[in-house]
Amino acid sequence: MRYISTRGGIEPLSFREAVMTGLAPDGGLLLPETVPRLPVQTLEAWKGLTYQDLAAEIFSLYADDIPEDDLRHLLTSSYASFRHPEVTPLVSLGDIYILELFHGPTLAFKDLALQFLGNLFQYLLRQNGGKMNILGATSGDTGSAAIYGVRGKENINIFILHPHRKISRIQELQMTTVPDANVFNIAVQGTFDQAQAIVKAIFNDLPFKASYSLGAINSINWARVLAQVVYYFYAYFRLASDRGGGEVLMAVPTGNFGDIFAGYLAKRMGLPIRRLILATNENNILTRFVRAGDYSLGQVVPTYSPSMDIQVASNFERYLYYLYDQDPARVKEAMAAFQETGRLSFSPEEVSSVGKDFSSTSVSREETLSTIRHFWQERRYLLDPHTAVGVRAGLLCQEDHLPLICLATAHPAKFGEAVQAAIGEKVKLPPPLMGLTDKPSRCTILPAEVEAVKAFIRSHALR
């Protein structure tokens, strides 16, 4: 399988190159040249596979330059860190199903991709004898999942910037209590946007980037998307064994369009998803896009689901490529226009084509809390605020009594304050979060300046 850029400006890459490249040099995102359409017999044959075996089948379609035994080994060790034997169990609540994606080491769905990506980086570096310094900024969940993905790995150091005292205490402790020597937490004295701008500026300094072999772990990495395709299939097969085949709906709480884009790929591969329900909080640019063809920037407002408090969805360009009939010239032009004006608009024909794959609704803060409260009181099931946004949107967008699978993207204890506000009780901490406050923590506080962060990297990077 070869990989191309959504903007058409590069020679095709292999899977290995695509993983190491991250963002395409022409500014576009990488996609496989073709998305294989699976015959019904293949779906039938995959039905009973374990999570790891299913992952190996899906990866081998897209990563044909890695021997299958090696892939299997990488996937098995990546998911051994999950606390549930099924990795992503599907829980039935009667009329809806919850796909629990939070059994990894940092209790959010990002572990599914980043546990694997860490192992894959280490494997590729071992083969080419290289070293890598990962640099990223986080407003919460990504940082800890990335740190847990590469902690203790040889030939990799990781530098994660977070805004000093502006993330939740639990999120901060999850990152700063990791004792491995290859992990460097930097608290910048500024906002998340400043931290992100510093990271961007450093990546744009190409000589610096090259001499320190800087690598990125953000959600545009193709291997992250691919790892997320697996649980859509897995959930479908678990449901099918419960109530037979047929079409389903899947509701996905969405921020950067990464998770739901994986669902779109699964649908393109032939998984019978009638529609993907794109759930947003009050930051609803993607809902406006699906419903009215209006993709225009607004102000970010803080909500109870901070990992979805996003306006520019970094994976949206991948979907645009398919909406524009795989025409990279149109994507390039649209992205330039968006850069310029902060908006894109779509014709009624395009909106109706979007509607074949997606429906969408935006969920308010109040509805988020009332959904958590309702599911706790009526069913004794505790939703985290992100999952609650997805569940609420899923129920509102139900059609034809189709089975509904809602993706649960975080453990409720990770966002305990909001959950407590909803149900009026303290949330019990699961073992990975217990005792965090007693552990020694390490973090370097730096001014929000590019030069200060560069100097820190110079003195701690692997060369």
Q: Which is nearer to ligand PLP, 133 or 144 (CB)?
A: 144
* Nearest to ligand PLP of 101, 448 (CB atom): 101
Q: In angstroms, how far is the first alpha carbon of the chain from the final one?
A: 32
In the complex, least distance from residue 148 CB atom to ligand PLP, rounded to whole angstroms: 13
Least Å distance between CB 436 and ligand PLP? Answer: 18
Handedness of CA 102, 107, 109, 113 (dihedral sign): negative
> What part of residues 305-324 is at the interface with ligand PLP (CB under 6 A)?
307-308
What token pair was written down for 343? 């908006």
How many CA atoms lie less than 13 Å away from 67 in the CB half-sphere? 5
Among 78, 182, 256, 281, binds ligand PLP (CB under 6 A): 256
Active site residues: 110
Taking CB atoms within 8 Å and a gap of at least 24, the contacts of 64-69 are: 64/1, 64/15, 65/14, 65/15, 65/16, 66/15, 66/16
Q: Tell me: does residue 100 bind ligand PLP (CB under 6 A).
A: no
The verdict on 416 binding ligand PLP (CB under 6 A) reads: no
**Near ligand PLP by CB under 6 A, which window of 22-30, 253-261, 326-334, 346-354?**
253-261
Which run of H or of E encompasses 460? Answer: helix 450-460
Residue 68 identity: E
Q: How many residues make contact with ligand PLP (CB under 6 A)?
A: 17
Q: How far apart are CA 269 and CA 229, in angstroms?
A: 10
Task: Report the nearest approach of ligand PLP to the CB of residue 228 (Å).
Answer: 8
Q: Enumerate residues 208-227 that contact ligand PLP by CB under 6 A.
A: 219
Nearest-angstrom CA–CA distance, 374 and 376:
5
Question: Does residue number 254 form part of the binding site for ligand PLP (CB under 6 A)?
Answer: yes
Pick the piece of the chain touching ligand PLP (CB under 6 A) from 64-72, 186-194, 208-216, 254-262: 254-262
Query: What's the min distance (Å) between Cβ of 24 and ligand PLP?
Result: 19
Rounded distance between C-alpha atoms, residue 253 and residue 247, angstroms? 20
Beta-bridged to residue 446, according to DSSP, are 188
Residue 172 CB, nearest approach to ligand PLP (Å): 15
Residue 356 — φ and ψ, nearest 5°?
Answer: -70, -30
User: What tokens were used for 61?
Assistant: 């379609």
141 contacts ligand PLP (rule: CB under 6 A): yes
Binding mask 115-134 for ligand PLP (x = CB under 6 A): --------------------
Closest CA to 72 of 49, 101, 90: 49
110 is a site residue for ligand PLP (CB under 6 A): yes
Q: Which residues bind ligand PLP (CB under 6 A)?
A: 108, 110, 141, 219, 253-260, 307-308, 386, 409-410
